[in-house]
Amino acid sequence: MTRPWWRPFVEGETAPKLGDEIVGGATTFVTMAYIVVVNPAILAFAGIPAGPSTVATALAAAFGTLLMAVWAKRPYAVAPYMGENAFLAFGLAALGITWQQRLGAVFVAGALFLLLTLAGVRSWLARSMSPSLQHAFAVAIGLFLAEVGLFQSGIVTSFVVGLPAEALARGAGGTLVAPDVPVKLGDWSAPGTQLAIAGLLITFALVLRGVRGAILLGMLPGAAIGVALGLAPPVERWVALPFTGELSLAPIALQLDVPGILTVGLLPVLGTLALMGFLDTLGTLVALGSAAGQLDERGRLPGIEKPMAVDAVASMASALFGTSTSGAYIESATGIREGARTGVASLVTSLLFVAALFFAPAAGVLQGMPFVYAPALVVVGALMLRAARRVEFDDLAEAVPALATIALTLFTFNIANGLAAGLLLAPLARAGAGRSRETSAGGWLLAAACLAYFAFGLRH
């Protein structure tokens, strides 16, 4: 009997629904393809040239996602993290360290992750968290996705948009201060915002009716109308040969400086990057497992060691390619919503990132039309709120850490901050309730690490 081609990408003997896997993998790619443009733009502030960085980003995403398909066999796409890239570009700017040292920090943190994963420490720490808190992670990330989608679509925007600089100036020095209100409604008269609202309503309607490929189909009308109205950015050329000319990897590949980062004075850099990566990975994997219905009765993701190991290896490879920390992407939840359940979907996403290597000049088209993909993030965020039913809000010792996780994730626009707050408060809340015995040694260790992050880390 001929061995099916998809067998290396699937756990067990169950045959995947190939149509759902293909649609799911394509949907995941569309909703996260913006990273090919955004990541190089952010890392450019660290001095990494944009052309090679674009290739490195797509290559890191293709490699990490393929590894997830073959090794972990999960429908989780992998790419350079948002948040970690901003930390490298902006959070470390005051330290005056080179971008080569920053890439060295990414590699060392990835190697540390791999060692801890192979030793079983990362999964042991993951098991130290209560099911209620893990489901709070899923809620926080779902709302975070919705927040990103609403902001990128223009449905909401920063309160300072449209205000003159002097409106926020205070004192003789004219120092800018935070606005009284962080966000407000965006300009709903803008064509892009109107298309986003229409796309959101269309996608919700398709999802409610159970239409196959609803999220991907919901993007098509907005894309077609956007192009017709001239809202898509112009493209001088669509195709370019990667690894040549301005897209050569030579200026950044294998340029990381590991010895330069291994100094006592730069330990806070490694510690912060390691904890941010650990928390982002853990929260994302739990949230994706929840979206796929793969968590067990205790709210844990079975076999979490493999995707964690993939993230570790992908981060090390990213540093070698010349880009920032990689890990599982929460946008994979869009593909999971379309039925993706195995590594076949990740294979599809990986191949599309390979294709993106040859269409790097046109990558800006998708980034220039956030009204196309942003509604999908809102819809998926809403669907992930079902995890709230398994958060024990009636138990204040569980509710307080859950609230901290959700609130700080949203209001600081950083998943790691929210998860760190929840992990720190969880054992303290139980201790305050006279229930210290419910916290394992791993729970206290995580709390100590999170306390060090807030007290001494380079918070971002």
Q: How far apart are CA 230 and CA 223, in angstroms?
A: 11
| pLDDT computed for residue 367 by the predictor | 62
pLDDT digits (tens, 9 = 90+) for 120-172: 887 788 788 888 887 888 788 788 878 888 988 899 988 878 777 777 776 65
Proportion of the chain above pLDDT 90, given as a percent: 24
Percent helix, percent strand, percent coil in the chain, to nearest 5: 65, 5, 30
Domain range summary for the chain, segments of one domain joined by + = 15-162+182-230+250-456
Pairing mode of beta strands 169-170, 175-176:
antiparallel
Q: How confident is the model at residue 1 (pLDDT cuts 50, 70, 90)?
A: very low
Please check the confidence at residue 366 and state whether its pLDDT lies above 70. Answer: no
Q: Are 72 and 26 in contact (CB under 8 A)?
A: no
Please check the confidence at residue 341 and state whether its pLDDT lies above 90. Answer: no
How many degrees, rounded to 5, is the angle at CA 296 between CA 78 and CA 137? 55
**What 3-state DSSP class applies to 141?**
helix
| pLDDT computed for residue 282 by the predictor | 79
Proportion of the chain above pLDDT 70, given as a percent: 92
Pairing mode of beta strands 78-80, 326-328:
antiparallel
Q: How far apart are CA 196 and CA 153, in angstroms?
A: 6
pLDDT digits (tens, 9 = 90+) for 419-448: 889 989 999 999 999 999 888 888 898 898
Q: Are 218 and 201 in contact (CB under 8 A)?
A: no
Q: How far apart are CA 133 and CA 151, in angstroms?
A: 26
pLDDT digits (tens, 9 = 90+) for 221-249: 888 898 889 888 777 777 888 888 878 88
pLDDT digits (tens, 9 = 90+) for 61-71: 999 999 999 99
Q: Are 449 and 275 in contact (CB under 8 A)?
A: yes
Please check the confidence at residue 102 and state whether its pLDDT lies above 50. Answer: yes
| pLDDT computed for residue 398 by the predictor | 93
Q: How confident is the model at residue 200 (pLDDT cuts 50, 70, 90)?
A: very high
| pLDDT computed for residue 68 by the predictor | 93
pLDDT digits (tens, 9 = 90+) for 377-406: 788 788 778 778 888 999 999 999 999 999
| pLDDT computed for residue 133 by the predictor | 85
In terms of Cβ atoms closer than 10 Å to its own Cβ (0-12, 13-18, 19+), residue 444 is: middle
Shortest CA distance to 414 belongs to which of 289, 276, 319, 210?
Answer: 276
Q: How far apart are CA 45 and CA 361, in angstroms?
A: 20
What value does the mean pLDDT of the chain take?
Answer: 83
Instruction: Please list, residue by residue across 125-137, b when 16 or more beta carbons sit within 10 angstroms of its beta carbon and e when fewer do.
Output: bbebbbbbbbbbb
How many Cα atoms within 13 Å fall on the side-chain side of residue 166? 1
**What 3-state DSSP class applies to 34?**
coil
Helices (H), 33-155: 35-43, 50-67, 84-86, 99-118, 121-127, 131-153
Contacts (Cβ under 8 Å, ≥6 apart) of 262 = 104, 108
pLDDT digits (tens, 9 = 90+) for 11-63: 766 677 888 899 999 989 988 887 887 788 778 878 888 788 889 999 999 99
